[in-house]
Amino acid sequence: MTDLPAPLDLPRLKSLLGDVAPRLDVDALPVCDSTSSVLMARAEAGAPSGSVLVCERQTAGRGRRGRSWIAPAGGSLAFSLLWRFAPGSKPPMGLSLAVGVAVARALEKLGVTGAALKWPNDVLIGGRKLAGILVELAPLRNRSMAVVIGIGINLLLPEGFPDGPDMRACDLASVLSATPSRPEVLAALLRELVRALDAFQSGGFAALRGDWLARHAHQDRAVRLLDEHAPALEGVCRGVDEDGALLLETEAGVCRILAGEVSLRPSESARDADDPA
């Protein structure tokens, strides 16, 4: 078994969280199947909003569309956050995009330039995948809507790390002259997540839409939308609406695509060898 990295320095993390520290309860495990699965069970048992679970090695990490999330021990940061919304809140349309804004902001605070967002849940650098996001509804308790937000970010990938089915991967070590420590990365992410979730609670995705569009990886580009249950759809990305739906201009007009079991890629005619997203 691959050696695990040193346990996360929780006191150091708390000091880096600053004024959001009282709103978060961070727990760290050496090994688990999936941080989101474990936190989902804790949510059902009544865990409070702001519960965070970090794991050094996941044995069954998962991403969108039922795919596995490969997180090499010591080479990545995988964690999940439980967030409960006020009773009566509307369904969280566009939440995965809002989380993407938070991740991009955190990366920028750490010195990363060129972070781009691929609809609906990937963070790219130079067309390569740096981080992935998975947002799942948690079991209702006292009629309070809750979500579990899972995030995986590559810190230092081992040589020969396999590429994903849609794109190649990159890591923080390749885009920064000095890789921040795991507490520094996690603190930056959690601070921006709290900020974005507060904005989302008060104004929905519309409050963050401008920031998302400013980082949209495929804005006004020809793309191909793949769906396991329907023919491929080609068109030009025209951004997203206030619910986070993709606006795809096709020969038949502008289609509104809600996040689902789809994969977005540059069209074959528009694909650039230097941008394989």
Sign of CA dihedral 168, 173, 176, 177: negative
Q: What is the CA radius of gyration of the chain?
A: 18
64 is catalytic: yes
Q: Are 6 and 33 in contact (CB under 8 A)?
A: no
14 is catalytic: no
Side-by-side strand order, sheet with 25-32? 25-32, 51-58, 76-84, 146-154, 128-137, 122-125, 115-118
List 57, 62, 64, 209, catalytic entry: 64
**How far apart are the C-alpha atoms of 81 and 42, rounded to whole Å?**
11
Q: Are 208 and 122 in contact (CB under 8 A)?
A: no
List 42, 105, 129, 191, catalytic entry: 129
265 is catalytic: yes
Q: Are 68 and 62 in contact (CB under 8 A)?
A: yes
Cα 169 from chain centroid (whole Å) = 14
Please list the active-site residues: 64, 129, 265
